[in-house]
């Protein structure tokens, strides 16, 4: 049975009229018209639908609207503001440092995985600002890139980590 459910997405509380068991991905894409999360496998296997729920990466194809209620959901569109909030910046940058690094390193090919990869990488850098290569590989395991841009993904995460730490290289 559909009802009004309050969900906070990218810092904005929004009432959504949908069945509480609706997968969050459908609410984000269809009700809120967000373009970041992508429907991939529907089984939480690929990571294309990843979002942050209270700062932790979740697969929105498996999280229900009811489970999202009361949590702060962050999508690709909200990463710059989420970063600014974490860093206690007065103003959000236009792009999260990871987004800038992904653009500079030309990571996206088809782009289908990019949103989920950025979400997962932002979770990592929020928890571990200077991850080793092994920690990056371990943390990013389970995010599939059909185009095979894994070396560029790795390099972009390393660059973003250095920039966040204050190293401009």
**C-alpha to C-alpha distance for 141 and 144, rounded to whole angstroms:** 8
> If pLDDT is split at 50, 70 and 90, which confidence band does 148 have?
very high
DSSP codes of every residue in 126-167:
HH-SS--HHHHHHHHTT---TT--HHHHHHHHHHHHHHHTT-
**In sequence order, which residues have a C-beta less than 8 Å from that of residue 87 and are 6 or more positions away?**
none
Domains along the chain with CATH numbers: 3-77 (3.10.20.30), 79-164 (1.10.150.120)
The percentage of residues in the chain with a pLDDT greater than 90, rounded to a whole number, is 96
pLDDT of 1 strictly over 60: no
Count of beta carbons in the 10 Å neighbourhood of residue 102: 26
pLDDT tens per residue, range 13-61: 999 999 999 999 999 999 999 999 999 999 999 999 999 999 999 999 9
Residue-level pLDDT at 2: 67
Mean pLDDT on 6-18: 96
């Amino acid at each position: 049975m559909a009802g009004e459910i309050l969900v906070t997405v990218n810092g904005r509380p929004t009432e959504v009229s949908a069945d509480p068991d609706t997968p969050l991905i459908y609410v984000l894409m269809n009700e809120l018209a967000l373009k970041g999360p992508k429907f991939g496998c529907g089984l939480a296997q690929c990571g294309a639908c990843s979002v942050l729920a209270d700062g932790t990466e979740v697969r929105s194809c498996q999280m229900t609207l009811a489970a999202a209620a009361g949590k702060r959901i962050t999508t690709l569109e909200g990463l710059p503001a989420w970063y600014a909030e974490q860093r206690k910046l007065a103003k959000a940058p236009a792009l999260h440092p990871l987004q800038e690094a992904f653009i500079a390193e030309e990571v996206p090919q088809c782009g289908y995985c990019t949103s989920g990869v950025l979400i997962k990488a932002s979770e990592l850098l929020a928890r571990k600002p200077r991850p080793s290569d092994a920690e990056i590989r371990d943390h990013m395991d389970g995010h599939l890139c059909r185009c095979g841009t894994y070396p560029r993904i790795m390099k972009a995460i390393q660059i973003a980590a250095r920039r966040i730490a204050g190293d401009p290289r």
